């Protein structure tokens, strides 16, 4: 079989495996019937959430489309290929430096193109009291995120181009296996490598809340190594908590804003929700889905990069030539955009199951409903956003649905 057809067949088979995993591992339960779309929020609270959404959403969509347009302008013309060649010329122009420096350059260009919209978004968050970051801290966070993104992207592209140079017919198979492996490794390393780049974490002081959270984890059958407090208030007034890591890196993380604003019963309700993800192995499921998705995506990429017309348009003779980098970045961006509603649809189902787990574990639907309302108010979330927006961008059930789930549990 021709390598390009084999790549497409592999992508299809991995896609089928991905669908099976989603079918077997995801609780495809119906959403609860919502009697009150306001979720009990006041008129002022609803108006504030609506005004924030009206101010931030158009900029968010424009940011997304502008970034995609910039990727298209570089990936579907010879401009990007010329940039890749030129940026590495001072260092001899070898393929290694073309990939590394070219990736850094394109990442920087992408950030600069969308910088005005990102800055506007931060202005809006300041205006509504959601962001507490100073502008120097905002610039620092943007620089760190850009550096991490450029570094990880360059690593992946070095793997792809290097393999394509050594194994022109089967590079996509080796690269797909490597991408799946990186997803697994990343799940283990993210809590101890990436998270500390943006927040400082300290162990929660000894006290009743810490004792209760550790006991809740034990009762859940998923003991944690520590309960950490993140200094989120340096950047935001938003409320959040989560459980991250596997085994020795598993810990409950609570924003300091949560401790400042919520009573202990509501903090425990949030933690119970997060522990629900652990009890049902959602992190493992996400890792497996991510690995299969990465493998299928790289195989599909192998099929696409076998298209001579597409390569000619990009100014690259093949996948083993560094000038293919802009085209690869474009195809990844398009694939990410297309898969977003699928990923969020899966996420909503997992979050709904974790909500039910929290209600079962704490047997306190009043605290659960109360904290969902507090989260909506603090994070400026509309309790019942437009259906299209929720379908595409909503990673959690709406506040109205979560409050309705608590009421159903009570009945």
pLDDT of 1: 65
Rounded Cα distance, 139 and 130, in Å = 17
Q: Comparing C-alpha atoms, which of 72, 71, 68, 74 is closest to residue 86? A: 74
- 3-class DSSP state for residue 179? helix
H helices of 89-134, in order, are 95-127
State how beta strands 227-230 and 251-255 pair: parallel
Can you say how many angstroms the Cα of residue 233 is from the centroid of all Cα atoms in its chain? 21
Q: How many CA atoms lie within 13 A of 397 on its CB side?
A: 26
**Do residues 383 and 39 lie in contact, with contact meaning Cβ atoms separated by under 8 Å?**
yes
**Do residues 38 and 383 lie in contact, with contact meaning Cβ atoms separated by under 8 Å?**
yes
Q: Rounded to the nearest 5°, which phi and psi values hold at 255?
A: -65, 145
* Maximum CA extent, the chain: 72
pLDDT of 179: 87
Q: Comparing C-alpha atoms, which of 192, 223, 204, 198 is closest to residue 267? A: 204
Number of domains in the chain: 1
Prediction pTM value: 0.89
Task: Please give the residue range of the domain that contains residue 12.
Answer: 3-410
pLDDT of 143: 95
For the chain (length 411 residues), average pLDDT per consecutive 10? 87 94 87 91 96 96 96 95 95 94 96 96 96 94 94 93 93 90 78 77 90 88 86 90 73 89 90 88 85 93 93 93 96 94 93 93 92 94 96 95 93 81
Rounded Cα distance, 122 and 132, in Å = 10
Dihedral over Cα of 328, 334, 337, 342: its sign: negative
SS3 content of the chain, % helix, strand, coil (to 5): 75, 5, 20
Q: Which pair of structure tokens corresponds to residue 170?
A: 């089967």
Count of Cβ atoms closer than 10 Å to residue 367 Cβ: 23
């Amino acid at each position: 079989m021709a390598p390009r057809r084999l790549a497409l067949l592999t992508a299809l088979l991995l896609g089928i495996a991905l669908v099976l995993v989603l079918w077997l591992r995801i609780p495809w339960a119906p959403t609860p019937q919502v009697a009150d779309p306001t979720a009990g929020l006041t008129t002022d609270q609803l108006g504030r959430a609506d005004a924030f959404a009206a101010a931030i959403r158009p900029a968010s969509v424009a940011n997304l489309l502008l970034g995609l347009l910039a990727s298209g302008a570089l990936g579907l013309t010879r401009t990007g290929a010329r940039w890749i060649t030129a940026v590495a010329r001072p260092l001899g122009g070898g393929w290694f430096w073309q990939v590394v420096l070219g990736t850094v350059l394109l990442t920087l260009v992408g950030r600069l193109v969308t910088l005005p919209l990102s800055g506007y978004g931060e202005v809006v968050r300041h205006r509504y009291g959601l962001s507490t970051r100073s502008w120097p801290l905002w610039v620092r966070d943007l620089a760190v995120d850009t550096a991490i993104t450029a570094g990880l992207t360059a690593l992946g592209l070095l793997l792809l181009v290097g393999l394509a140079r050594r194994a022109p017919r089967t590079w996509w198979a080796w690269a797909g296996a490597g991408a799946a492996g990186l997803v697994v490794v990343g799940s283990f390393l993210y809590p101890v490598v990436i998270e500390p780049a943006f927040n400082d974490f300290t162990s929660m002081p000894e006290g009743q809340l810490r004792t209760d959270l550790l006991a809740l984890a034990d009762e859940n059958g998923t003991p944690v190594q520590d309960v950490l407090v993140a200094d989120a208030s340096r950047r935001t007034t938003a409320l959040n908590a989560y459980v991250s890591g596997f085994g020795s890196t598993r810990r409950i993380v609570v924003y300091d804003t949560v401790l400042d604003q919520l009573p202990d019963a509501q903090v425990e309700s949030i933690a119970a929700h997060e522990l629900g993800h652990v009890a049902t192995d959602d992190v493992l499921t996400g890792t497996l889905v991510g690995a299969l998705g990465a493998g299928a995506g790289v195989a599909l990429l192998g099929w696409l990069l076998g298209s001579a017309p597409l390569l000619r348009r990009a100014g690259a003779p093949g996948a083993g030539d560094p000038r293919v980098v802009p085209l690869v970045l474009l195809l990844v961006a398009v694939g990410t955009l297309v898969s977003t509603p699928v990923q969020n649809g899966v996420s909503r189902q997992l979050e709904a199951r974790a909500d039910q787990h929290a209600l079962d574990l704490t047997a306190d639907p009043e605290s659960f409903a109360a904290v969902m309302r507090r989260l909506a108010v603090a994070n400026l979330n509309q309790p019942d956003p437009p259906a299209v927006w929720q379908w595409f961008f909503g990673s959690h059930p709406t506040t109205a649905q979560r409050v309705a789930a608590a009421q159903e549990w009570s009945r």
